[in-house]
């Protein structure tokens, strides 16, 4: 069984469009995360949710809006996509907090044309 | 500002060689984790070290935590092509992963 799953795996879209990436974890973890990994492999935290509540919101444009309908899901919606949004987006989860082991999804490669 | 540095940023070696990568921080780690990210996949935890001076071994990989808990090293003996990947040591509660060390092992 997949622990942390993301859909879609690949997403190619035009500038200005709105898109969503879905994430689900079946580990029963309390905390979920969204990371962005750029072309230079720099992995940067975007958001962290604990029990459906936002606890970390790094300096991310407000075009990015996370939504956690329940503890097992954390979706990422992006409005008005820009070229610079092209990256690989990773969802992750951990039992409680950031010092616990994080389990990462397979990533979503977003390409904005 | 918390700083995290990993070195070298890139390393390209032949199978059978030994190597060491380093993780240094301006802050004290409460605990330190090493992750490996293989191409096309998400990072996977290799080890967690907690006590200053601690040494942990995972087959050919040896992890050492600095006495002051501000640095760590990962030594790989007799590297194999399967060791290829991006090695990351995040700065715990701040969730700072940085650029890591990209290791390429060729046969």
- Domain CATH number, residue A73: 2.60.40.10
Distance from CA of A107 to the nearest CA of B (A): 6
Nearest to B92 among A35, A42, A99 (CB): A99
Contacting residues of A for B30, CB less than 8 Å apart: 99
Predicted pLDDT of residue A70: 92
Q: Are B13 and B104 in contact (CB under 8 A)?
A: yes
Query: Given a cut of 90, is residue B43 above it in pLDDT?
Result: yes
Helix, strand or coil for residue B66? coil
Predicted pLDDT of residue A97: 83
Number of domains in chain B: 1
Q: Which domain holds residue A108?
A: 4-112
Alpha-carbon span B57 to B105, nearest angstrom: 20
Contact B98 A105 (CB under 8 A): no
Contacting residues of A for B98, CB less than 8 Å apart: 42-43
Contact B97 A43 (CB under 8 A): yes
Best residue of B42, B45, B92, B103 to probe chain A, by most A CBs closer than 10 Å: B42
- List phi, psi (to 5°) of A84: -70, -5
Contacting residues of A for B102, CB less than 8 Å apart: 41
Which whole number is the average pLDDT over B83-104? 88
Nearest to A41 among B44, B96, B99 (CB): B99
Please name the residues between 12 and 51 in chain A that touch chain B, using a CB distance below 8 Å. Answer: 33, 35, 40-45, 48
Closest alpha carbon within chain A to B49? A99
Number of H helices, E strands in chain B: 0, 11
B92 touching A, CB under 8 A? yes
- Domain CATH number, residue B40: 2.60.40.10
Q: Name the stretches of chain A with pLDDT < 50.
A: none
Span B62-83, pLDDT tens digits: 999 999 999 999 999 999 999 9
Q: Are B19 and B79 in contact (CB under 8 A)?
A: yes
Predicted pLDDT of residue B6: 93
- List phi, psi (to 5°) of B26: -85, -10
Helix (H) or strand (E) holding A75: strand A73-78
Q: Which domain holds residue B55?
A: 4-106
Number of domains in chain A: 1
Predicted pLDDT of residue A51: 84
Predicted pLDDT of residue B1: 62
């Amino acid at each position: 069984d997949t622990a942390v799953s993301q859909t879609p795996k690949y997403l190619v879209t035009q500038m200005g469009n709105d898109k969503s990436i879905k994430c689900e974890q079946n580990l029963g973890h309390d905390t979920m995360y969204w990371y962005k990994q750029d072309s230079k492999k720099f992995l940067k935290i975007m958001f962290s949710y604990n029990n459906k509540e936002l606890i970390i919101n790094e300096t991310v444009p407000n075009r990015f809006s996370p939504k956690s309908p329940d503890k097992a899901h954390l979706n990422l919606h992006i409005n008005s996509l820009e070229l610079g949004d092209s990256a690989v987006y990773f969802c992750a989860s951990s039992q409680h907090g950031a010092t616990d082991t994080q389990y990462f999804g397979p990533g979503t490669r977003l390409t904005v044309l | 500002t918390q700083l995290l540095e990993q070195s070298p940023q890139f390393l390209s070696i032949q199978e059978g060689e030994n190597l060491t990568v380093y993780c240094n921080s301006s802050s004290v780690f409460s605990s330190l984790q090493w992750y490996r990210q293989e191409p096309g996949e998400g990072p996977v935890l290799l080890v967690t070290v907690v006590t200053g001076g601690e040494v942990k071994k995972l087959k050919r990989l040896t992890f050492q935590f600095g006495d002051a808990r501000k640095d760590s090293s990962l030594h790989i003996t007799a590297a194999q092509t399967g060791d290829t990947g991006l090695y990351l040591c995040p700065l715990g509660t701040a969730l700072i992963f940085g650029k890591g060390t990209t290791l390429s092992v060729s046969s």
